[in-house]
Amino acid sequence: MPRSSLAGIIPLLALLAANGASAHTLLDHADPRVGDKVATPPHQVTLFFTQKLEPAFSSVTVTNAAGQRIDSAKPRISGNQMSVSLRPGGTGTYYVKFHVLSTDTHTTDGNFTFQVGQ
Ligand SMILES: [Cu+2]
CA of 116 to the centre of ligand 1 (A): 33
pTM for this structure?
A: 0.80
The residue-averaged pLDDT of 95-106 equals 95
- Judged against a pLDDT cut of 80, whether residue 5 lies above it is answered with no
Count of C-beta atoms within a 10 Å radius of residue 54: 15
Question: Which pLDDT tens digit goes with each residue over 6-23?
Answer: 565 555 555 445 444 456
CA of 43 to the centre of ligand 1 (A): 31
Give residue 51's identity as a one-letter amino acid code.
Answer: Q
Per-chain mean pLDDT for the chain: 88
Q: Are 85 and 43 in contact (CB under 8 A)?
A: yes
Question: Which pLDDT tens digit goes with each residue over 56-73?
Answer: 999 999 999 999 999 999
Domains recognised in the chain with CATH numbers: 26-116 (2.60.40.1220)
The residue-averaged pLDDT of 74-90 equals 97
pLDDT of residue 72: 96
CA of 23 to the centre of ligand 1 (A): 4
**CA 108 remoteness from chain centre:** 7
CA of 105 to the centre of ligand 1 (A): 7
Work out the widest C-alpha separation in the chain, in whole angstroms: 61
Euclidean distance between CA atoms 5 and 107, whole angstroms: 31
Euclidean distance between CA atoms 115 and 35, whole angstroms: 7
Residue among 78, 87, 36, 32 at smallest CA distance from 54: 78
Question: Which pLDDT tens digit goes with each residue over 42-60?
Answer: 999 999 999 999 999 999 9
CA of 50 to the centre of ligand 1 (A): 11
